[in-house]
Amino acid sequence: MNVVITGASRGIGKAVAEVFAANGHALYLSSKNEVAMYKAMAEMQDKYPGVKIKAKARDLSKREEVESFGQWVLDNGFHIDVLVNNAGNFLPGSVYNEEQGFLEEMIATNLYSAYHLTRKLLPQMMKQTPVSGTRGHIFNMCSIASLNAYKNGGAYSISKFAMHGFSKNLREEMKPHLIKVTSVFPGAVMTDSWGDFDNSTQRIMEATDIARMIYASSQLSPQACVEDITIRPQLGDL
């Protein structure tokens, strides 16, 4: 399979890339920071020398850069089997006192990145010849902050509710086109988003937990679509 993953330089996106690479699938990756992206790519290439891995750094909060990344994907000329819209950023805050501009930044990074990239790639996906009965599978990284309000959710949570709306609509629209759409709702996952949180008691999940669920969902029969993946720490939300 050919797998396109955004936000793949670290955290959940990198774990998703690794699980597909470990299973021999070709990767087309993106992140904002070029040095971090190429470092992660080189690391994966060393670990999985037989796997094709390409990457292009772009700021996906900017529409023209999403267009440019999407065009690079299309120019590679492959069948797009999996698209993982994972790139995202977390700014804690509350509606009443977060900094001016937080909402715009969260919406641009967490929603518009996925919306515009999907729109760029969909025309090709919708007309590509089905492989094993499907034209492709899109995973949208939502959050439990898409499902419930919580303290310090603010603009981040608003953007993730919107991502959920995007993903649900896409699922409905793509049913007759043989393109699967899965919304992923993780609770707390130990990544850079959690800064110096001490996870020595393994209170929160690992990025590989999410990656393994995504990979498993990509492996089902063409007539089965995992619509939602909700996954929380065993002890519940923090």
Ligand X SMILES: NC(=O)c1ccc[n+]([C@@H]2O[C@H](COP(=O)([O-])OP(=O)(O)OC[C@H]3O[C@@H](n4cnc5c(N)ncnc54)[C@H](OP(=O)(O)O)[C@@H]3O)[C@@H](O)[C@H]2O)c1
Name the residues that contact ligand X, by CB under 6 A.
7-13, 31-33, 36, 59-61, 86-90, 109-110, 141, 143, 186, 188-189, 191-193
How far apart are CB 189 and ligand X at their closest, in Å? 4
DSSP secondary structure letter of residue 108 = I
Q: Are 179 and 135 in contact (CB under 8 A)?
A: yes
**What's the min distance (Å) between Cβ of 86 and ligand X?**
5
Mention every residue, 6+ apart, whose C-beta is less than 8 A from residue 197: 190, 204
Residue 133 CB, shortest distance to ligand X, in Å, is 29
Please say which residue, 105 or 126, places its beta carbon nearer to ligand X.
105
Distances in Å between the Cα of 179 and the Cα atoms of 67, 105, 156 are: 21, 29, 28
Name the residue nearer to ligand X (CB basis): 113 or 134: 113
**Which residue, 4 or 135, is less far from ligand X as judged by CB?**
4
Angle between helices 113-127 and 63-75 (to 10 degrees): 30
Q: Cβ of residue 128: shortest distance to ligand X, in angstroms?
A: 25
Closer residue to ligand X, CB minimum distance, 73 or 188: 188
